[in-house]
Chains A and B, each alone.
Chain A
C-alpha cells in the first residue's frame, strides 16, 4: 500500500516540477550554462582522454530551500546522475522520479541504523548522508554512465 502511495506521489509531482529528473530531461532554466568537462584521470588507471572530450555536461541550480542540485547530463539530454547538498534533503520524489521507490526501499529493506546509506544495483545506485542541518548525496544510473566515468569522478 505504501509502495503504491509513493508511486502515485511521484507520478503526481513529476509534471508539476520543471527540474531535473534522474533518467529524464535536465531542468529548464538552470542558473549556469552547461559545462563541457573532460573526463579527469582517477587514481585507478583509465585511458587518457582528449582535453575537450564532452562526455557529459553539468547543470547546477539552487532550489527554494537552498539545496544545491547538480545534474549530470548525457549529450542526448538525459540525466544520468544527480547530486544534492544543502540544509535539508531536497524533494527526492521529484529528483529521482521513477527511481524514488528504489530510494525508499533502500531505507526500509536493509537494516542500516543511523549511518550513511550506500545501496543499489546495476540499475540505480544511491549514496546518502547527513544529519539535521546538512544533507548531501548522489544517485546515478550505472548503465548510463559514460565510459571511463565513475561516480567518484563527478565533481
Chain B
C-alpha cells in the first residue's frame, strides 16, 4: 500500500512540474493529484489580465530566483477511517538523514494517516509505523543538564487529553515535494525507555494507545511556532524533556531549541514561513469524505498569496487570540485543525452524553473575532451548530456544524476547530515571519 502511494505521489509531482513548464503554473497545484477533486479547484490567485492583481505577490522578494510553482502542496483528506469525524489526514515520507535519495527503499518509509494539527508543534510518528527504519534514525542527545552529553533525549509531550512518550530522533521529513532535513521528531511509544512517574502524573493518559485505536500513525504539528517548548529552554519542567542514561532512568532536563521537536515547515529550505489549508465547503448534512490541499509557504508563491482582503488575526505565544460570544470574552481562542468541533460554552444548547451539542434544529450562531491588522471593525463570524448525534448517524466524516460543550468558565476558551476550515483558506504564519506588511505569528482567512 505504501509503494502504491509513493508511485502516485511521484506521478503527481511529475505531472505538477510538467504543467508548470507549460506556463499554467497557477493551475498546476490545484489539479496535480490527478484525482478528481469534487470541488471547483480554479484558484483565485491568478492575476487579472490587466495585471492589477499584483497584491498576490506581496510577500515575494521579487529578486530571488523565480520559485518553482506547484511543488509546495500535498493532498489532505477527511474520511471515516479513523472512526472519528473531522480528522484531517496527510502522508509524509520519513528517511534516514542524509539518505542519498527518497527512492532508496531501505532508508525511507512512507507514513500515511498523519493528523494535520495546526494546534501543536512537531512531527510525531508511532514507532510501529517505522518498524525497521526507527533504529537507523539518528539519536538526539546533548541535553543541557546532561553532564556526560551522550544520553538520548526523550520527550513526554503533553496534549490537552494526555501525553505521547518517546525518543527524540532526527530524520528527513518529506511532505509532498518538500523536505526538512535532519530535524528532530518524536518516535511515539518506541518502548526504549520506561515512562517516568512524573510524566504520568502530569501527563495523565498515554495517547499512544488511542492513536493505535484510531488507526492514526502520528501527528503533523504545523502551528505558528518552530520548536515545541519555549519553557524547556530555560527550565527543566516536570513531565516534558528528559535525558535517559539507561532504560529505567530518565531525568528532567532543559534542552536547546535546536534539540526540540520541530515544526517541519520551518525546516524547509523555502516556503517555510507558514502554511495554507484549503478545504472545500461541505453541505449542511455533512459529506462522506473530503479532499483538499495543504500548501507550504505564505506569500512565497502564486498559490499561497495572502489576499488583500484577508482577515488577519495575530496570536500570542500560546497561539491564541480573542473571540467574543454572547457578550462573553474568550481570550484563549484558537483556530485549530486538530479539534473536531466548535468548542465553546453555551448552557442553553442541549448536550449529548458525549458532550456534543444536540439542538433539535440547526442553530445559526455568531461570534466576533477582532482582526489585528488595523483593518477596522471586529468581524462577525457566523457558524452553524447542528445535532451532532443525528449528523454522525449518517456515517459521514466531514461536518461543518459539529459543536462541543465546554463549561469551564475561566478557561476563556473558544475553539474554532476543523468545521471552520471547510470552504475557507486558512493561513498559519510562523514566528516573526513577514508577509507583505504583516508580521507573524498570525492566522488569517
Question: Which stretch (A18-26, A31-39, A126-134) binds chain B?
Answer: A126-134
B81 smallest CB distance to A (angstroms): 11
Interface majority SS on B: helix, strand, loop or mixed? loop
Q: Which residues of A contact B237 (CB under 8 A)?
A: 65, 87-88
Is there an interface contact between A104 and B204, defined as CB atoms closer than 8 Å? yes
Which A14-69 residues have C-beta < 8 A from chain B?
42-44, 65
Q: Which residues of A contact B206 (CB under 8 A)?
A: 2, 107-108
B87 interface hit (Cβ, 8 Å):
yes
A86 to B404, CA, bound (A): 23
> Given A65-B238, A107-B210, A128-B161, are A133 and B202 also a contact pair (CB < 8 Å)?
no
Q: Which residues of B contact A85 (CB under 8 A)?
A: 410-411
Which A89-140 residues have C-beta < 8 A from chain B?
89-94, 103-119, 127-138
A152 interface hit (Cβ, 8 Å):
yes
Interface string of B179-216 (1 = CB under 8 A from A): 00000000000000000011011111111011001101
How many A-B residue contacts, CB cutoff 8 Å? 190
A2 smallest CB distance to B (angstroms): 8
Is there an interface contact between A105 and B205, defined as CB atoms closer than 8 Å? yes
A150 interface hit (Cβ, 8 Å):
yes
**A136 to B, closest residue via Cβ:** B411
For B, the interface residue count at a CB cutoff of 8 angstroms equals: 66
Question: Which stretch (B28-36, B46-54, B101-109, B226-234) binds chain A?
Answer: B226-234
Q: Which of B120, B209, B340, B411 contacts A131 (CB 8 A)?
A: B120
Is there an interface contact between B202 and A119, defined as CB atoms closer than 8 Å? no
B214 smallest CB distance to A (angstroms): 4
A47 to B214, CA, bound (A): 44
Q: Which of A65, A107, A151 contacts B204 (CB 8 A)?
A: A107
Is there an interface contact between A113 and B200, defined as CB atoms closer than 8 Å? no
**B338 to A, closest residue via Cβ:** A114
In the complex, the 3 A-B pairs of residues with the closest C-beta atoms, listed nearest first: A107-B205, A107-B162, A117-B161
Residues of A within 8 A of B (CB): 2, 5-6, 9, 13, 42-44, 65, 83, 85, 87-94, 103-119, 127-138, 150-155
Query: Can you list 24 contacts pairing A with B, beta carbon distance less than 8 Å?
Result: A9-B200, A43-B347, A85-B410, A85-B411, A88-B158, A91-B198, A91-B202, A92-B201, A93-B201, A103-B204, A107-B210, A108-B162, A111-B82, A111-B214, A114-B159, A114-B338, A116-B160, A117-B162, A118-B406, A128-B161, A132-B240, A135-B158, A150-B407, A155-B410
